A = this chain, B = another copy of it.
């Protein structure tokens, strides 16, 4: 199982290829819109599922901020998703409309997101030559459920709760190197987000950009293309596999 890709930036042969998940491997927006819309329809709630899903995701970065800056102890993304959902339901005068089982199911919709069409084939091809895993802010339980549901063939799943650090904290990017007994330059982060790659590169990881121009819907304006000289730039994960595996 020879590896074949040397990162121009780190000078190292890549050994493990780790993926941002939300947006890069799975279509969080499509999955959450579907779950929210179905629940609202069942209850006759006249609230737009699309804007609700976007608002829920909009609380993602702010919800992690107090943990990143040390003013709050680590809690998992499941806990943050639940808190954000309750806030959002209250804001829309929907508190009490759904029972605990329904709230639970909605929080767990983040565990059952659909993969992009190329994800399973692409990961399978990369896996033939590298260790593959997520490098995500998702917790281990979430990522394990996601993998089983979407058929993602990870070798190893180390959620953000393993070292209790959220990206873009350096500890989040460096945890897999410690646990896989690799130096940072032997790990490649694959992401659809230039900022994520910038932080990964700043602590020594190899980088690959996968364009996901509809992650945020048809009118997306951010991350349409690579905005730096990442080690690899592709438009899907099958192309990534072709770019980094021996021919």
| A interface list, Cβ under 8 A from B | 1, 76, 78, 131, 139-141, 144, 147-148, 155-159, 161-162, 178-182
The reply to whether A157 and B155 contact each other, CB–CB distance below 8 Å, is yes
Q: Which residues of B contact A156 (CB under 8 A)?
A: 140, 144, 156-157
Contact of A162 among B76, B78, B148, B162 (CB under 8 A): B162
The reply to whether A139 and B1 contact each other, CB–CB distance below 8 Å, is no
The reply to whether A180 and B1 contact each other, CB–CB distance below 8 Å, is no
Query: Shortest CB–CB separation between residue A126 and chain B, in angstroms?
Result: 13
The reply to whether B141 and A148 contact each other, CB–CB distance below 8 Å, is no
With both beta carbons as reference points, the residue of chain B lying nearest to A149 in the complex is identified as: B1
Q: Which residues of B contact A78 (CB under 8 A)?
A: 181
Q: State the CA gap A162–B163 with chains docked (Å).
A: 8
Q: State the CA gap A1–B144 with chains docked (Å).
A: 14
The reply to whether B1 and A141 contact each other, CB–CB distance below 8 Å, is no
Query: Shortest CB–CB separation between residue A203 and chain B, in angstroms?
Result: 19
